[in-house]
Amino acid sequence: MRSLFTPAILALSIGLLTTACENDPASPATPSGKVVNGAAVTVGGGTATPYVQLDAAGKPTAYGVRLTDGALSNLPQDAPGYEYTLPMPAEAAATGIDHVSLDYNPDGHEPEGIYDHEHYDVHFYYVSPSQRDSIALGPDLVPVDAKYIPKDYKTFDNFSIPRMGVHYIDTTANELHGHHFDKTFIYGFTKGTLAFLEPMITLEFLKTKPNFTASVKQPQQWQRTGISYPGKYSVRYDAATKSTVIEMHDLVKK
């Protein structure tokens, strides 16, 4: 199989239009604690907002991105892709997630016939933006210890995408077995170290107002200890806020 993502397709422009809404009073309350928002970013005709959900003791129970209805329309079509960087609020530190990169791909990307559909790549990064900038294009032959790779996941070429790393995909995923791609979950490594977790979701699916939850396949061992990792992820529509929520939850501290 060819590389999942070619350099040409991944020539991304940085989305810089942001509006601050830290601790947004409109954030939904939870019985066990609160939701803390990061800064909202203008996306298409709406906004994308990163957030972390905390329990009564201030420990994270979930984190994610909230896309308003407008963020699924009026999207830029003048480039192969477009990147929006969403810093996580400080309260998310215990998750290890530094920031989110929301990458819009109007024509999808390789492999042709699989991921060439309009979609969002939602990268939850364990590295800082400056560390991402050091991730280069080309072969990355530093091995990842097998105990850090979930069952069924593999990379086909050890090829590093600039500012991302090597993508490991679930070989049992529906889209690799003759089914239409609508959502999938990816692990990313650079120089043998986990760099990101990534739900990848088509706009077609997001516009269905979904209510989807799946388990996140776990490695035998996580590389870093002392932070909380997700056991599940969800893509669900919140009618109250007229937004679609992409959430990592069932967090367990390792």
Predicted pLDDT at 102: 97
| pLDDT average, residue stretch 207-235 | 97
Per-residue pLDDT band for 253 (boundaries 50, 70, 90) equals: very high
Predicted pLDDT at 78: 79
Predicted pLDDT at 8: 34
| pLDDT average, residue stretch 151-172 | 96
Per-residue pLDDT band for 14 (boundaries 50, 70, 90) equals: very low
Amino acid code (one letter) for 62? A
Does residue 3 surpass a pLDDT of 60? Answer: no
Q: Supply 27's token pair.
A: 């954030």
Predicted pLDDT at 32: 57
Does residue 26 surpass a pLDDT of 70? Answer: no
What digits encode the pLDDT tens for the residues 80-109? 789 999 999 999 999 999 999 999 998 878
β-pairing verdict for 252-253 and 81-87:
unpaired
Q: Could you state, in order of their start, the residue ranges of all structural domains in the chain?
A: 12-253
Q: Is the peptide bond before 219 cis (omega within 30 degrees of 0)?
A: no
